[in-house]
Amino acid sequence: MTSITLPAYAKLNLTLDILRKREDGYHDLQMVMQTIELHDDVTVTLTDGDGIICRCGDIPGDETNLAVRAARAFFAETGVAPCGLDIDIVKRIPAQAGMAGGSEDAAATLRALRKLLKPELPGDELERIAALVGSDVPYCVRGGTALAEGRGERLTSLRSAPPFYVVLCKPDFDISTPMLFSRVKVSELWSRPDTSGMLEAMHRGDAGGVASRVKNVFETILPKEYAEVFAIKERLRRLGAEATSMTGSGPTVFGLYRDEAAARAAYVKLSADHAQTFLTRFV
């Protein structure tokens, strides 16, 4: 086998809390993460060349691309002799949307290289390599329902979440993650997620309990110019969503539905006004 195509599933933050600022300048986070069906396709092909070629739509395929960095980390950390690679990424996950699109592509690249070149590599070792690429990449390697702590690299797998359909909407602007973190004063954060309650609801398989605890602390410090995030949340509520939240550092907003027809109706109405609207579900 010299080529393989894998899905790179997007993620949602069902909860996102910021616990403290660390001495290294980063923040300790606590997040319940969930994989959704919306995905990129990542094809990794071994070639006779000696370099890495990466095609990723309108996104640069140079050394700034996380998939390229993931490939280099794989060779450096596993001792596998570097070889020519062709990485082709079909993008569906919006960029800079809070859904870890770049990290998911990097994780799929790592999983593909393990299958092609070192299938005996343990999963925890692949996650260790993933952490060298980016904080979200270990979760993206593992996927599913998980508690992520530290910078996001410390993972605890959870019982699979109850099934939900998801309506996603990305407004026509981006939000800078460093800017949001620069606004964080941990002692002044209010309306924090009930993470322990979320974990208990997950353990019980309690869909209502999960929906009632969806929350992102970043929403409490969003500048006023991003008020459309809250307008979309309110519209999703009026369209019957059981829970609404921004995912990651935004600006994508999601609504959770247990009824597919209600989710589809909401998707149709919202997509009439917002081009980047998607209907998907938990996987």
Question: What are the boundaries of each domain within the chain?
Answer: 3-157, 165-281
Instruction: Pick the catalytic residue from 40, 136, 170, 233.
Output: 136
Closest Cα partner for 110 from 144, 76, 152, 60? 76
Average pLDDT over residues 220-249: 97
- With cut-offs at 50, 70 and 90, classify the pLDDT of residue 3: very high
Does residue 233 have an active-site annotation? no
Structure tokens at 86: 């062709």
Does residue 215 have an active-site annotation? no
> In this prediction, what percent of the chain has a pLDDT beyond 70?
100
Strands (E), the chain: 3-21, 27-47, 52-55, 84-90, 145-150, 154-157, 165-169, 215-216, 243-246, 253-257, 277-281
Instruction: Pick the catalytic residue from 11, 170, 215, 233.
Output: 11
- Each residue's pLDDT tens digit, 180-232: 999 999 988 988 999 999 999 999 999 999 999 999 999 999 999 999 999 99
Bridge partners of 80?
Answer: none
The answer to whether the beta carbons of residues 153 and 131 sit under 8 Å apart is yes
- Each residue's pLDDT tens digit, 42-88: 999 999 888 999 999 888 888 899 999 999 999 999 999 999 999 99
Helices (H) and strands (E) in the chain, counts: 9, 11
Domain 3-157 maps to which CATH number in 3.30.230.10, 3.30.2320.80, 3.40.50.12780, 3.40.50.2300? 3.30.230.10
CATH dotted code for 165-281: 3.30.70.890
Residue 249 has what pLDDT? 95
Residue 235 has what pLDDT? 98
